Amino acid sequence: MPTPTRPRRARLGAPVVAALLALGLAACSDAAIDDAAQQAKDAASEARSAIDDLKAQVDDAKAEADAAQQKIADVKEQLGSLDATAKAEADKAVADAQAAVANAQTALEQAQAEGAEASQQALADAEAQVADAQAELEAAKASAAGSAADSLDELAQQLTTLGDKLESAAAG
What CATH number corresponds to the domain at position 118? 1.20.120
Is residue 10 in some structural domain? no
Is residue 18 in some structural domain? no
Query: What is the length of the chain?
Result: 172
Which is it for the CA torsion 41, 46, 51, 57, positive or negative? positive
Number of domains in the chain: 1
Is residue 152 in some structural domain? yes
Helix (H) or strand (E) holding 146: helix 146-171
Is residue 40 in some structural domain? no
Is residue 48 in some structural domain? no
Q: Which domain holds residue 138?
A: 58-172
Is residue 158 in some structural domain? yes
How far is the C-alpha of 58 from the C-alpha of 171, rounded, in Å?
11
Q: DSSP for 13-40, please give it.
A: HHHHHHHHHHHHHHHS-HHHHHHHHHHH
53 Cβ contact partners less than 8 Å away, ≥ 6 residues apart:
172
Helix (H) or strand (E) holding 95: helix 84-114
Low-confidence ranges of the chain (pLDDT < 70): 1-29, 116, 172
The predicted pLDDT at position 25 comes to 56
Is residue 143 in some structural domain? yes
The predicted pLDDT at position 138 comes to 92
The predicted pLDDT at position 118 comes to 78
The predicted pLDDT at position 102 comes to 92
Is residue 47 in some structural domain? no
Whole-model pTM over 0.75: no
